[in-house]
Structure 1
Amino acid sequence: MIVRAARETDIGPMKALIDRYAAEDRMLERSDTFLRANLGDFLVADDAGTFLGCAALAGLTTDLAELRSLAVASDAGRRGVGRAIVLACVERARERGLRRVFALTLVPDFFVKCGFTLSSLGRLPEKSASECPVCPKRFACDEHAMLLHLDGTTPPALAPGDPVGGVHAPLPPH
Structure 2
Amino acid sequence: MPNSTPATIALRKLGIAFKLHTYVYDSNAESIGLQAAEALGVEPNRVLKTLMAEVDGKPVCAVVPADCEVSMKKLASVMDGKSAKMMRPADAERLTGYHVGGISPFGQKKRVPTAIDESALTHVTVFVNGGQRGLQIEIDPNDAALAAGAKMQAVTASHE
Common topology (TM > 0.5): no
TM-score by length of 1: 0.24
Task: Give the structure, 1 or 2, with the largest relative contact order (CA under 8 Å, sep 6 or more).
Answer: 2
Bigger CA radius of gyration? 1
